[in-house]
Structure 1
């Protein structure tokens, strides 16, 4: 069978599987961070953390990734996550409140929140779409 490459077939499948696992690991890592930050970083004293750790084990997440997320939440790691709230008014005077957990305020505002608003823009005619975002609860609807 000339032209047949077993590695090429494996590579295509592996890339898709790795991307899928990466998304799952990212979500679990964020959940681990939140659980460890909200309570004790020791799973014996924090049932929420213990539950997320079981979820990580079920997804075959490496132990060093789990430990890294817990260390980051307890202050051992480098990045500091913070909860940020954006408030504003959207199309037709609709009140919008976006809460996000981020390690980079600029990226969250510029990329993630704008992406959500672009999705809203597809539902609303452009001439009616005006939005103003204000950082941290200054409006408090």
Structure 2
């Protein structure tokens, strides 16, 4: 992937997420509830819940809110039951798009996802139509200027699968999804705190969209991100709107 545009896209996405803090809490609450319901409320035995709670704390969610939603999910309090549904489709220029949702009404959700795709020039596909182009990985991004040699040594020693340096000096570290937490802890212990650290669906290859196509693709991504039931949107487009 083009390193310069990838770093710019990461920073752009991070900025847009920061603008939507109110919705971030809603998504985190759903993730906490599903993680607790599927894996139990003990964070020492449930890494998915532990990661969700770490994200909630980073977003300044009060501890009472976190505990209340864990209790709802594990049956200690009455609450809504959410199910996870993944949708796959195509954006501008055939870009691959994955939309992960959590919903209490799948009929409503699929209608909203389909409408967002069709309204903004995309198409909702079938299960498996684009997901084969992605890998479920732990992903860390470090800003340009990081000590490449020391970071690479620390990452590989801690079990990273790959370290990729972008054209602008930004560094991407990849791990197996199950190794994400251990690698994150090891890197931070070595003095390396990532700008972005997450378990994600990473595209094997990307396509570059420029000008009007990039703007159309961004509108599609925004529409999908803004749906109430959306948790995450993954895609393989590098957007260059300059």
Aligned to 2:120, what secondary structure does the other structure show? Answer: helix
Contact 2:114-2:124 at 8 Å conserved across structures: no
Give the number of aligned pairs.
110
**Where is the helix percentage greater, Structure 1 or Structure 2?**
1
Structure 2: runs of 5+ lacking an equivalent: 1-18, 90-96, 130-242
Aligned equivalents of 1:85 and 1:49: distance in 2?
A: 19
Aligned to 1:120, what secondary structure does the other structure show? Answer: coil
Contact 2:73-2:79 at 8 Å conserved across structures: no
Residue 22 of structure 1 corresponds to 22
**Where is the strand percentage greater, Structure 1 or Structure 2?**
2
TM-score (ref. length: structure 1): 0.54
Question: Larger Rg: 1 or 2?
Answer: 1
Contact 1:72-1:80 at 8 Å conserved across structures: no
Change (3 A) 1:41 1:117: farther
Please give the root-mean-square deviation of Cα atoms over the aligned residues, in Å: 3.7
Residue 16 of structure 2 corresponds to none
Residue 104 of structure 1 corresponds to 105
- Per the TM alignment, residue 133 of structure 1 is displaced from its structure 2 partner at its CA by 8.2
TM-score (ref. length: structure 2): 0.35
Aligned equivalents of 1:107 and 1:132: distance in 2?
A: 15
Aligned to 1:83, what secondary structure does the other structure show? Answer: strand
Q: Which has the higher contact order (CA 8 A, sep 6+)?
A: 2
1:41-95 alpha-carbon deviations (Å, 9 max, x no partner): 122321221222122122210123212332332243321112346689xxxxxxx
Structure 1: runs of 5+ lacking an equivalent: 1-18, 89-95, 122-130
